Amino acid sequence: MDTAEEHIVMLPFMAHGHLIPFLALARQIHQTTNFTITIATTPLNIAYLRSAVSSDPTLSHSTRLRLAALPFNSSDHNLPPNTENTESLPLNQIINLFHSSAALEPPSHRLVADIAAQEGRPPICIVSDVFNGWASRVAERINTTNVSFSTGGAYGTAAYMSVWLNLPHKSTDTDEFPVPGFPDSCRFHRSMLHQFIRAADGTDSWSRFFQTQISLSLGSSGWLCNTAEEVEVSGMEILRKYIAKPVWSIGPLLPPAMLNSNSSTLTQHSGKESGISTQKCVEWLDSKPKSSVVYISFGSQNTISSSQMMELAKGLEQSGKPFIWVVRPPVGFDQKGEFRSEWLPKGFEDRVSDGKQGLLVRKWAPQSDILRHKSTAVFLSHCGWNSVMEGLSQGVPIIGWPLAAEQAYNAKMMVDEMGVCVELARGVGSGVEAEEVRKVVELVTEEGGKGGEMRRKAVEIGETMKAAIREEGGRKGSSLKAMDDFVSAIVSSAAERRRRSNGVATG
């Protein structure tokens, strides 16, 4: 088969935390093959991707990466005008966005059919987000194969799927419960579940979306997972048993410079404007001792309550540890609005700024550069998988504060399986005291004891991640091998499909 003419169509879900890994996956495939890759999503998300591509040295001048805009009108789905992703969307409207994604099936089918007509054969493969399970129907109608891509890790993905499909917490009145697919000794806690999962009964709008799309994705021909085999040994075993299909662990899908210890300052890869210059941020970090700074960020679409924010600020100040905090308006306020000083203790920002203890950043921070800096000691994070991998790849342990999605499952794995995380709180409803913040920060930043052990384990995991995507002396890391295996599998599958089609046509 002449693979020079092959074409992969990618269908990411409409959220920045999904778009970024899809673009990173496209980069990996681009470097491994000579396939053409088309990423298709809604117009505003295409604009976001185009901005990210323009700063990517591998993809910015490539003629083999195409971005295709799919027609979408948010007003047709009870969403605010020009709403095409989860960014700054109120929680009560996010489910409308989830359901609206199914409207992309018809234009996706037209796109793939047009590619097939122009090239004389269907794309070799569709790679679709787990939340876009409808892509399996598109693939079947066009006589190609669909491979589901989980932008999360193996453990978190398996837990998220099983909880939504089985709602195991509904079978017990106790706070702890087993989850199908996980060892009997593994217990999950009701507090790990987002409020919509706790209330789900299989007939509600959240259940209808997730159960339908996950079930469709389980019918795909195989799965790609954004993790490394050696990083999530038990997680990969659980996921493979649950899916009962080939699973290729091809991560971590991070900016190449993050996985290269010799690299200098990074180019922003998120397509977003930082609230502070990278130079100013790095200069501030340069002024701090090695492994002393606490970095706090809850991701691009999460925030905490005003009372939690107040206690977090007090605890950070009391700890005396230097910190960089990406601040956003608390729950209930416009996430695109200005951050107001009244949400913090009186005089807090002036005190920590004048005393050189803290740096408060509006909007977004150059996270990759912060995590790579030698002064950064710990990452207080919402435990979204992209952030987890960025932190651990640099040997930075985590203070966990999961807020949504599979984040609590990621935190559980990092605590129980990896030993690189301490949980401070769960969700926006949990009580947080300044004294507990101070204690946890001091524990994790200490040179010896538990903090030192967490840092040692995080460094080991970071090295394992880098080894998985490295080729040295002709030997490929596990994730590079998995990518080769994935490509071989879809090439073989396409050859068999075309052989059968030719046999039918000539028989």
* Domains of the chain and CATH, by start: 6-253+473-505 (3.40.50.2000), 272-466 (3.40.50.2000)
Q: What is the pLDDT, as a whole number, of residue 266?
A: 52
Q: Distance between CA atoms of 434 and 439, rounded to whole angstroms? A: 9
For 389, residues 6+ apart whose C-beta sits below 8 A from its C-beta are: 153, 226, 251, 252, 253, 254, 465
How far apart are the C-alpha atoms of 464 and 230, rounded to whole Å? 7
- Band the pLDDT of 448: cuts 50, 70, 90: confident
- Enumerate residues 6+ apart whose C-beta is below 8 A from 383: 398, 400, 401, 402, 407, 408, 410, 411, 414, 421
pLDDT of 1 higher than 50: no
pLDDT interval class at 5 (50, 70, 90): confident
- pLDDT surpasses 50 at 502: yes
Mean pLDDT of the chain: 92
| pLDDT at 270 (0 to 100) | 52
3-state secondary structure of 18: helix
Looking at residue 273, its pLDDT comes to 62
pLDDT band at 116 (very low <50, low <70, confident <90, very high): very high
How sure is the predictor about 261, in pLDDT bands with cuts at 50, 70 and 90?
low
- 260 pLDDT tier (thresholds 50, 70, 90): confident
Buried residues in 466-487 as b, exposed as e (16+ CB within 10 A): bbbbeeeeeeebbbbbbbeebb
CA distance 389 to 17: 12
Which token pair is 326?
């990406």
User: Mean of the pLDDT values across residues 372-387?
Assistant: 96
Summarised one tens digit per residue, pLDDT across range 26-52 is 999 999 999 999 999 999 999 999 999
Residues in the chain: 507
| 6-15, 57-66, 185-194, 219-228: segment of lowest average pLDDT | 57-66
pLDDT of the residue at 332: 86
Please say if the pLDDT value at position 268 is more than 90.
Answer: no
Which segment of 53-62, 275-284, 395-404, 496-505 scores lowest on mean pLDDT? 496-505
* Ranges 80-89, 283-292, 373-382: which has the least confidence: 80-89
Distance CA 130, CA 92 (A): 22
435 pLDDT higher than 90: yes
- 107 has a pLDDT exceeding 70: yes
Does the CA dihedral 333-335-338-339 come out positive or negative? positive
What pLDDT, on a 0 to 100 scale, did the predictor assign at position 269? 45
Question: pLDDT for 117-143, tens place per residue?
Answer: 999 999 999 999 999 999 999 999 999
- Among 379, 366, 344, which Cα is nearest to 276's? 366
Q: pLDDT-derived band of residue 148, with 50, 70 and 90 as boundaries?
A: very high
What pLDDT is recorded for position 507? Answer: 47
Residue 502 exposed, middle or buried by CB count within 10 Å (0-12, 13-18, 19+): exposed
Q: Which residue has the tokens 């913090």?
A: 344
Residue 306 neighbours by CB under 8 Å, 6+ apart = 330, 331, 332, 343
pLDDT band at 505 (very low <50, low <70, confident <90, very high): low
| pLDDT greater than 60 at residue 275 | yes
Model pLDDT for residues 183-240, shown as the tens digit of each residue: 999 999 999 999 899 999 999 999 999 999 999 999 999 999 999 999 999 999 999 9
CB atoms < 10 A from the CB of 329, how many? 18
